[in-house]
Amino acid sequence: MTEIAIKGLAKSYGDTAILENVNAHLADHEFCVVLGPSGAGKTTLLRILLSQEAATRGEVLIDGVPIDPEPQPDRGVVFQRYSVFPHKSVLANVMLGPQLRAAPLLGRLFGARRRAIRERAEALLQEVGLGEHLAKFPAQLSGGMQQRLAIAQALIMEPKVLLLDEPFGALDQSTKKAMHRLILDLWRKNRMTIVMVTHDIGEAFTLATRILMVDKARRDPHAPTAYGSTITEDIRLDPDKKPALHVVDESADESHTMTAIFARYRADAGDCVVDEHPNFQAAG
């Protein structure tokens, strides 16, 4: 059971109010997507949940207990960038967390205990589709692969809460779709709570059991920094009533390839397309 309570949260930098009066209660195993315009304070909210940043007022409780003031393994994170360690191989990135926990001085295990962690890491990497890339460095991976690595690295710690800040923001639509299925799959299997920031509204409705919109409720035209953002929308969605995304169906892959998505947009565009190169048609 993991219940998160956000109570009367406020954050300001000097005189600039960023967040004010943010209240939310996230039930166990929630997939909460935080939406909002750029600069609204979504990342700030996530940083507070992570304890990377301290709230000016209010508190965050997990199962009734205030969160630790420092980042801890109970809350895993995937940032948009710089989430994985560039100097470690794919496998070493995932094996790092458990080894740090088990060996305070060396941060490194040997023998049977190392093998056990290695097997767990390999299984997890297999699950996120990186089973063939264990020895590579992050610089040798594509953006989507790096994010999958970051997710595996966070999941091996079995966090209660997984925090994601625009994790798929830099990915193309077809890769994004594949990542959506992966994250839903992992969310269901690991039964953790996910809080994910995005500004992709479609993504929010695809994934969420809960959508929070962070935006300014009040504005003072003479003092634009006087009021911060708060939660302006708060809706709950039933995942079982969202048929298309719920089923992890390998055969459905076809409809999510770049070509397939392009074809749908191409059809929608209709008369806007005034010319089409015949050579490619013939080849297809």
Positions that interact with another protein (CB under 8 A): 50, 52, 70-73, 75-77, 79, 81-88, 96-97, 100-101, 104-105, 107, 137-140, 153-154, 157, 159
**Nearest residue (CB) to ligand ATP, 144 versus 228:** 228
Contact residues toward Mg ion (CB under 5 A) are: 43
From the list another protein, Mg ion, ligand ATP, none, which binds 41 (C-beta under 5 to 8 Å, kind-based)? ligand ATP
Cβ neighbourhood burial of 199 (10 Å; 0-12, 13-18, 19+): middle
The number of CA neighbours under 13 Å toward the Cβ of 49 is 33
Rounded CA separation 77/166 (Å)? 11
Per residue, the 3-state secondary structure of 133-179, as one string, reads CCCCCHHHCCHHHHHHHHHHHHHCCCCCEEEEECCCCCCCHHHHHHH
Going residue by residue from 11 to 30, which x/- string records binding to ligand ATP, judged by CB under 6 A? Answer: --x----x------------
**Nearest residue (CB) to another protein, 137 versus 227:** 137
**Nearest residue (CB) to another protein, 47 versus 181:** 47
Contacts for 161 with CB less than 8 Å, ≥ 6 apart: 2, 4, 49, 62, 74, 75, 76, 192, 193, 194, 195
Q: Do 120 and 156 contact (CB within 8 A), yes or no?
A: yes
In this chain, which stretch among 38-46, 66-74, 173-181, 247-255 interacts with ligand ATP, using CB under 6 A? 38-46
CB of 237 to ligand ATP, least distance (A): 22
**Nearest residue (CB) to another protein, 160 versus 176:** 160
The two three-digit tokens of residue 62, written as one number: 């997990």
Binding to ligand ATP, residues 41-60 (CB under 6 A): 41-44
From the list another protein, Mg ion, ligand ATP, none, which binds 196 (C-beta under 5 to 8 Å, kind-based)? none
